[in-house]
Chain A
Amino acid sequence: MTKILEFIDSIFVAAKAWILCLLGHFLPAWIVVLVSITISGVVILCLGPVIMMYLTLLERKLIGRIQNRYGPNRVGIWGLLQPIADGIKMFTKEDIVPANADKVIHLLAPIAIVVPALMIFLVVPFGKGMTTVNLNIGLLYFIAVSSITILPIFMGSWASRNKYSLLGGMRTAAQMISYEIPMTLAVVPAIMMSQSLATNAIVLAQAGGHGLNWFIFTPWGIVGFIIFFLCATAECNRPPFDLPEAESELVAGFHTEYSGMKFALFYMAEYMNAFTLCGIAATLFLGGWQGPFLPSWLWFFGKTFILICVMIWFRGTFPRFRVDHLMAFAWKFLLPLTLINILLTALWQFTSNLAAWCGSILVLGISLWTLVKLNRTFVPEKRHYPLES
């Protein structure tokens, strides 16, 4: 029984090893190395778009259910072919470029935005031994690469020569810079406890306890996870943080002037970012591929999809933030809370008994209460405008 489970657990790793072994019989070693890189690369390059396509379907279905309707159900059973129909539609649409646009940058922006989105896939540990590149600075790489995403968005918005696009781009730049800081600081506790920057090592640090020794089951872990997840939602511009593309204010924000496949590329990058950010959140705090009974890759994808469903649930539930609330939330609420969380983690390393539990819950409660009190909205005095007689 355990043997079967182990086989299913490592089925993808075994398949790759088998192909390489087969090729190794009649090909020189350096070609085998190249093939090994190519297999991983092709898998990532296919995985990204396929995940994106079916995420759109999942989102439309779930949002439909939340809004008391069915969602797409005409193309294929349960609408399963809908993403492919959408893809064909996107390819055959006319590509409109505004007359005054900066042609080169307008073209480059949607191409450039997919690159960092795909590059993050390299350090995501999909299962036991299934990290594409086991970088020893994996998490730093993730933070660095995801910080580039601002540039293509601003390129696209600037090159469109459209005031709505430009407003959307400015909002994106401000929002993403602000939320990057609490996101990076929320990651620090996980790095401190696992003493490594490699994503694989962070997952391994959560081993034990029947595969349930996840970081989220500690007081600093749950706070870090919530902050990271909120910032991740803001980083990929999803509701309720979707000010850059607020359709009721800015038409479509930074991609107003894009159509056809160029628009689809922006869309694709957004969904791939949502997936990788949820994957990294699962890796850091939910134990990655650790878990009892089921194969490791199933655990990873299960956790990631639950997180994505929560994101979709957010979209169906919350109204959009106001700009000043958005900024105040990042700088005045999340940032101090992450700093307190880092301090707590440092204390946790010395003791982790019941007293530490109660103590950290007390500290977190007090700081949360203080922050909420300090952040309460300013209600101006009610003004009266007497009608002039």
Chain B
Amino acid sequence: MAAKFGTYAVMAVILIFALGVVTLRNIFHCALCLAAALIGTAVLYVAFRAEYLAAIQILLYVGAVVTLIIFAIMLTEHLAGKTVRQNNSQSPLAIAGLLGFVALLTVVILKTPWPVTQTALKAKVSVMALGEALMGTYVFPFEVISIILIAALIGTVVIAKKDAPEERL
């Protein structure tokens, strides 16, 4: 009972911070709200006994993605704490589209049977099993992702590289 209530409370806090991300007018506040919402998600993972996923969530999203966003903010004029409106004349249309999407999702979620079997309840994914799966069953997608990441890295270096200065006569 207490666990259920706590989980719902965490979910509510995540939603409040998520609302902050899209409504606050200061871009740095938005980034901090995003960090808080992501940490909240990690707390949910811990509550659902997925500690590994929680640690990875914090490491990747809070430690890397939010820092990347902060780097991006550092390079803009918004660093000075200017406020910007986050909505324009298209927001009613966007809300209508969003409501339709939410309705669709709700229908799909309610229609799908979520079977709770004994094997699913007993399944315990250890870090070792994850590693074995990555190096065994899923080794091909794993390697493909590595190649894509390397390609992205090299691509950024090529784009960011300055052209060699023309030789002066």
Contact = CB atoms under 8 A, between A and B. Distances in A.
Given A137-B127, A155-B32, A145 B58 contact: yes
B30 interface: no
Interface stretch (A146-154, A203-211, A216-224, A345-353): A146-154
Interface stretch (B13-21, B62-70, B145-153): B62-70
A67 interface: no
Contacts of A148: 39, 58, 62-63
Interface string A188-213: 00000000010000000000000000
A102 B26 CA distance: 11
Interface residues of B, number: 23
B52 A137 contact: yes
A155 B81 CA distance: 12
B43 interface: no
B56 interface: yes
Given A102-B81, A105-B32, A151-B62, A144 B67 contact: no
Given A144-B56, A144-B58, A150 B32 contact: no
Contacts of B52: 137, 140
Contacts of B32: 105, 151, 155
A150 B74 contact: no
Interface in B27-78: 28-29, 32, 35, 39, 51-52, 55-56, 58-59, 62-64, 66-67, 70-71, 74
A144 B70 contact: no
A136 B59 contact: no
A147 B70 CA distance: 14
Given A136-B127, A158-B81, A173-B70, 17 more contacts: A102-B81, A105-B28, A135-B51, A136-B51, A137-B52, A140-B55, A143-B59, A144-B56, A144-B58, A144-B59, A145-B58, A151-B35, A151-B67, A151-B70, A158-B28, A173-B67, A197-B127
Contacts of A102: 81
A344 B51 CA distance: 30
A154 B74 CA distance: 10
Given A137-B51, A137-B55, A173-B70, A161 B81 contact: yes
Contacts of B71: 173
A158 B70 CA distance: 10
A231 interface: no
B79 interface: yes
Given A136-B127, A151-B66, A144 B74 contact: no
Contacts of B55: 137, 140-141, 143-144
Nearest to B35: A151
B126 interface: yes
11 contacts: A105-B28, A136-B127, A141-B51, A144-B59, A144-B63, A148-B63, A151-B67, A151-B70, A158-B81, A173-B67, A173-B71
B28 A177 contact: no
Interface of B: 28-29, 32, 35, 39, 51-52, 55-56, 58-59, 62-64, 66-67, 70-71, 74, 79, 81, 126-127
A170 interface: yes
Contacts of A197: 127
A261 interface: no
B51 to A, nearest CB: 6
Nearest to A135: B51
A108 to B, nearest CB: 9
Given A105-B32, A136-B127, A147 B81 contact: no
A154 B70 contact: yes
A166 interface: yes
A136 B128 CA distance: 10
A170 B51 CA distance: 31
Contacts of A154: 70
A150 B67 contact: yes
A175 B58 CA distance: 19
A177 B28 CA distance: 19
Contacts of A180: 63
A151 B58 CA distance: 12
**Looking at B29, B56, B74, which has the most chain A CB atoms within 10 Å of its CB?**
B74
Interface string A120-152: 000000000000000111001101110110110
Contacts of B56: 140, 144
Contacts of B59: 140, 143-144, 147
B126 A177 contact: no
A177 B67 contact: yes
